[in-house]
């Protein structure tokens, strides 16, 4: 199953906030032997969010969506998810109880000694808070250890807040609770070397041959124009050339890749020399 992430918010696209979710999701997946297949950024446009979710719900992928699940006018994710699924929104009973518990804690913190006083859960501000527990029908909650306001899951789509302090532990919880059986299920290896004095066009036939000779192994080429810094020193123009895939096949393919670069006259710096 492929993993994807949707990062929602005008503030990301306008530059008011710098996205931190993408590298963190990659890190969380990698720690469990998993990999991200795709990522999308979407602004706070309901039609665009709905269209994106309609497509990804149909994909069968495991998807994390960050942002837009609050209860302010610029939060549209919950509504768009329901529309994409063709189901109504409704207050989730467990989410409602968690939010009420949070309201009690907030009152106790702001008014010490008021624990025994009744709380008007129908007050406008509390009804507004309860709106954050309104999810598409059939959703399951994702616990939020930071402030108890849960996210929600529908099938293999998982919706969390935009705040990293909340979102990242919630994503970890989903990965470890729902997808533990996928952790390190597929062995994966990656090896590369720096190639100097050769152009990508010269290396392309070698790359094509490696992929043809080693099915399942993918070759990658990451050129640098001399702006890559290592140890405080900028590395001269080079290509980070490598192979990735099943470990045994990668080991054999890497030997052939290195031999091929030598035959082409390339200057090589091995990983242990970097």
The mean pLDDT value for 45-54 works out to 98
Give percent of the chain with pLDDT exceeding 70: 93
Which residue spans within 33-112 are E strands per DSSP? 36-42, 62-66, 89-91
CATH 3.40.980.10 domain extents, the chain: 3-182
Beta-carbon-side half-sphere exposure of residue 108 (alpha carbons within 13 Å): 8
Which residue spans within the chain are E strands per DSSP? 3-8, 36-42, 62-66, 89-91, 134-136, 140-142, 151-154, 157-160, 189-196, 218-224, 228-230, 233-235, 238-245, 267-269
Distance CA 184, CA 181 (A): 8
Q: How far is CA 266 from CA 93, 203, 221, in A?
A: 65, 9, 14
Confidence band for 244, pLDDT divided at 50, 70 and 90: very high
The confidence score (pLDDT) of residue 233 equals 47
Q: How confident is the prediction for the chain on average, in pLDDT?
A: 92
DSSP 271: G
65 pLDDT above the threshold of 80: yes
* DSSP 3-state of 105: helix
Distance CA 274, CA 269 (A): 7
Do the Cβ atoms of 205 and 257 come closer than 8 Å? no
Q: How far apart are the first and last CA of the chain?
A: 35
Our measurement of the distance from residue 215's CA atom to the centroid of its chain's CA atoms, rounded to an integer in Å, reads 28
99-158 tens-digit pLDDT: 999 998 888 887 776 556 788 888 889 899 999 999 999 999 999 999 999 999 999 999
208 pLDDT above the threshold of 80: yes
Distance CA 73, CA 94 (A): 24
The confidence score (pLDDT) of residue 227 equals 60
- State both tokens at 70: 């609050």
Distance CA 59, CA 189 (A): 27
Sign of CA dihedral 74, 77, 78, 81: positive
CATH 3.30.70.360 domain extents, the chain: 189-273
Q: Quickly list DSSP for 208-254.
A: HHHHHHSTT-EEEEEEE-S-EEETTEEEPSEEEEEEEESHHHHHHHH
Strand order in the sheet with 62-66: 36-42, 3-8, 62-66, 157-160, 151-154, 140-142
Do the Cβ atoms of 53 and 81 come closer than 8 Å? yes
Q: How far is CA 181 from CA 70, 149, 177, 178, in A?
A: 31, 27, 9, 8
Give the CATH fold of the 189-273 domain.
Alpha-Beta Plaits (3.30.70)
210-224 tens-digit pLDDT: 999 999 999 999 998
The mean pLDDT value for 56-60 works out to 97
Do the Cβ atoms of 247 and 187 come closer than 8 Å? yes
Give the CATH fold of the 3-182 domain.
Molybdenum Cofactor Biosythetic Enzyme; Chain A (3.40.980)
32 pLDDT above the threshold of 50: yes
């Amino acid at each position: 199953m492929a993993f994807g992430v949707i990062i929602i918010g005008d503030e990301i696209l306008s530059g008011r906030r710098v996205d931190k979710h993408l590298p963190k999701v990659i890190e969380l997946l990698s720690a469990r032997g998993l990999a991200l297949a795709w990522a999308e950024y979407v602004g706070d446009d309901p039609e665009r969010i709905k269209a994106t979710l309609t497509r990804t719900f149909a994909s069968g992928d495991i998807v994390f969506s960050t942002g837009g699940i609050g209860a302010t006018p610029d939060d549209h994710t919950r509504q768009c998810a329901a529309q994409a699924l063709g189901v109504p929104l409704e207050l989730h009973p467990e989410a409602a109880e968690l939010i009420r518990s949070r309201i009690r804690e907030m009152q106790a913190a702001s008014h010490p000694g008021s624990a025994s006083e009744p709380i008007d859960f129908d007050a406008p501000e509390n009804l507004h808070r309860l709106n954050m527990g309104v999810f598409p029908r059939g959703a399951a909650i994702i616990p939020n250890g930071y402030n108890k306001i849960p996210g929600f899951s529908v099938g293999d789509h998982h919706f969390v807040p935009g705040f990293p302090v909340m979102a990242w532990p919630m994503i970890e919880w989903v990965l470890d609770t729902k997808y533990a059986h996928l952790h390190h299920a597929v062995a994966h290896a990656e090896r590369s070397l720096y190639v100097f004095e050769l152009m990508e066009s010269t290396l392309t036939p070698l790359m094509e041959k490696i992929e043809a000779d080693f099915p399942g192994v993918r070759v990658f080429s990451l050129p640098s124009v001399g702006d890559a810094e290592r140890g405080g020193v900028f590395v001269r123009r080079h290509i980070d050339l490598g192979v990735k895939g099943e470990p045994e096949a990668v080991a054999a393919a890497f030997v052939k890749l290195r031999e091929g670069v030598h035959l082409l006259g390339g200057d090589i710096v091995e990983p242990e020399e970097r």
